[in-house]
Structure 1
């Protein structure tokens, strides 16, 4: 096992000559050590009174190289050595100097290691690091980050008072962007996913020994989900679709809106559909690609996640309209096209069609395009769709995600089951009574 010891950098043993011509070493007495300022010169090292007095020294168990760390007080050095020896015995040894690396260095190494994530995910990590995480932690030694510090930062993020740095694009805005109170979901991603990703990387690479984020409690979204879920009736959807057609004069916009509201694809998935993805015989469309961005922010087509590959159910009446819309096009042409040709840009469609349609129709005033997924799900559930069907329709990873969002929309089924149980009970009791008679 590696040795660990403490060295006094200010005081040394003195070599004295004896009457018989030999030499011997003598140590300062306890009284001399207590009166350190009056310590005789022959007990003083060349570093006497300079810097920190105590040096904890050991051999790195992985490289066998000598290491050291200085302390002002001997008690601190002793505590450090005790902890170090315990870590070495338990095979938990971590180079103490590694803990002194700045969080910024660890975060950049973590992000550079993410070779399998989508470019759009990389851009989100990059944006959150630059906007919120690095302004707070970039110069902090990663080994000094504690839970109380993280707790305080979480409160600042929630209240909109956390350190931040936003890019200023004068072509878009002439006033600087300021942070607002942060929604729990967004806060959770910044803390758990982005900040937490770098911290977990440091633990995995034996840079720090424990995760200070492990027991941090984040704010919960306490909104009333039953009332927060957006909803549109069938007449409302048709009014919005008709208004979109009147606004642009293009069936593409009307049918895209209907597909979003009735079948629930994401806007990037819907606008990535090609003619060959339509299956009119089975009233469905194949979802296996989506619009995303590369690391420079340029739009590109990319694959959806594995569990999001699916066949999207399409109403027969809507499928017939989509077939008409794409008549004469090649299999690799897009189903929905922009006014000047080519695919529709989801962000552009939001501004050009959706916001104006909401205003002109007097409906869905606060709804985003993504909210139409909730509209599709709530109407499907009301029509009798079970959990598995809604999960597959929306491309959720598992039924848990679906239930977490929509479980309250299946309350009547419980009443139906209880009513059926009561009916069968009554029938069984009547039959028993007749047999007894």
Structure 2
């Protein structure tokens, strides 16, 4: 039975040994079969607390203090087991972040004791790129949300934490001549790969997992339904980034380049394997093959492999492709995302649309349109 006790005075007016020490009024209630107590300065505050406890217990939203008095390290595996909705590659990188960053810092800390200030201090102390900090923080925040759903926390102490701001890197778009220079400098073995990435816009992991059955030269299509990612030293195959398979068009130029490569290739054989017939690993490819080729071609040394995907978007836009077509080619979740990423490219196309309309309305007033394909 819930009640409020006077810690300073007995019912007969006699002072107790606690008289004048600490808060006078003590709320007493039953939780999970055990008696709980909490002291308050005023009697009204103690009564209000009991009312709050009673309401939450009746509504099923009461969070037991015992459930929160557990080490975070004891809960992380159970949370990871619950992440069945994640793609295999995402789950693998999540486990890697838990092992390398989250567990070492939080594993021996009591869940119920974690405060917003604690999370802020952790985020501030991470000596990592802003985007990496954001990702790891997001995983820990999701873990705390899971703790709330398990009845171990009432609120998420990670809410409202300030994250470092990183400078957004500008995309690098290569011209056709620059792509040709890079393909030539990288050597015959990987020349097709450079042209393929720069004309289809596939992510590196998607290209690395392509197999014979995914190339349809008759229709000039590539079926993208899988991607491979390296996590904790092992290769993990899963769906593409947005989880949806897609068909990507091949130019006649690219289809002809692939013809000899896929001729006689088995359905399950990799299209772009290593010399040993294994998956390409993005870090190895970049350091050992791509970066030296970039330098040899006289291109910007900070040119990422992913910039070939941006280049494919640029070539598509400047050849007259619509936002929707570029979205489908790149596998973005929405056309809005495509516009957000490549707004600058489409701004030029909007100017071209206006000029073409003027060419119909008042051709004598319109200067010749620039050949936009040369600015890709």
Normalising by structure 1, what TM-score? Answer: 0.71
Larger radius of gyration: 1
Whole-Å Cα distance in 2 between the matches of residues 356 and 235 of structure 1? 18
Matches within 5 A, 1:237-276: 237-245=179-187, 251-276=188-213
Shift of 1:409: 1.6
Q: Does 1:189 align with 2:189?
A: no
Q: 1:333 to 1:406 in 2, by over 3 A?
A: same
Q: Is the 8 A contact 1:143 1:208 kept in 2?
A: yes
Whole-Å Cα distance in 1 between the matches of residues 18 and 269 of structure 2? 88
Q: Which residue pairs with 2:367 in the alignment? A: none
Shift of 1:91: 4.6
Q: Which residue pairs with 1:290 in the alignment? A: 227
Q: Which residue pairs with 2:86 in the alignment? A: 117
Matches within 5 A, 1:351-430: 351-416=287-352
Q: Does 1:236 align with 2:169?
A: no
RMSD over equivalenced CA pairs, Å: 3.4
Q: Which residue pairs with 1:129 in the alignment? A: 98
Bigger relative CO (Cα 8 Å, ≥ 6 apart): 2
Q: Is the 8 A contact 1:58 1:66 kept in 2?
A: no
Shift of 1:422: 7.3
Whole-Å Cα distance in 2 between the matches of residues 90 and 270 of structure 1? 52
User: What is the number of equivalent residue pairs in this alignment?
Assistant: 361
Q: Is the 8 A contact 1:53 1:70 kept in 2?
A: no
Which segments of 5 or more consecutive residues in structure 1 lack a partner in the other structure? 13-26, 39-48, 163-178, 246-250, 428-437
Q: 1:53 to 1:70 in 2, by over 3 A?
A: farther
Shift of 1:258: 0.9
Whole-Å Cα distance in 2 between the matches of residues 413 and 316 of structure 1? 24
What is the DSSP-based 3-state SS (H/G/I as helix, E as strand, rest coil) of the residue aligned with 1:231? Answer: coil
Q: Which residue pairs with 1:203 in the alignment? A: 148
Whole-Å Cα distance in 2 between the matches of residues 134 and 78 of structure 1? 40
Whole-Å Cα distance in 1 between the matches of residues 18 and 236 of structure 2? 73
1:106 to 72, 75, 81: 75
Q: Deviations over 1:124-150 (max 9, x none)?
A: 222323333344433443334333443
1:299 to 235, 247, 250: 235
Q: Deviations over 1:221-261 (max 9, x none)?
A: 453x6xx111111100001101112xxxxx34100111112
Q: Deviations over 1:260-279 (max 9, x none)?
A: 12211111211222222211
Q: Does 1:36 align with 2:14?
A: no
Q: Which residue pairs with 2:29 in the alignment? A: 58
Q: Deviations over 1:355-412 (max 9, x none)?
A: 2211221214112222221121122222222221111111112223212211222113
Whole-Å Cα distance in 1 between the matches of residues 223 and 151 of structure 2? 45
What is the DSSP-based 3-state SS (H/G/I as helix, E as strand, rest coil) of the residue aligned with 1:68? Answer: strand
Which segments of 5 or more consecutive residues in structure 2 lack a partner in the other structure? 364-376
What is the DSSP-based 3-state SS (H/G/I as helix, E as strand, rest coil) of the residue aligned with 1:411? Answer: helix
Q: Is the 8 A contact 1:56 1:70 kept in 2?
A: yes
Shift of 1:310: 1.1
Q: 1:252 to 1:272 in 2, by over 3 A?
A: farther
Q: Deviations over 1:311-370 (max 9, x none)?
A: 122221121111122323333332223224444443332233212211221214112222
Q: Which residue pairs with 1:68 in the alignment? A: 35
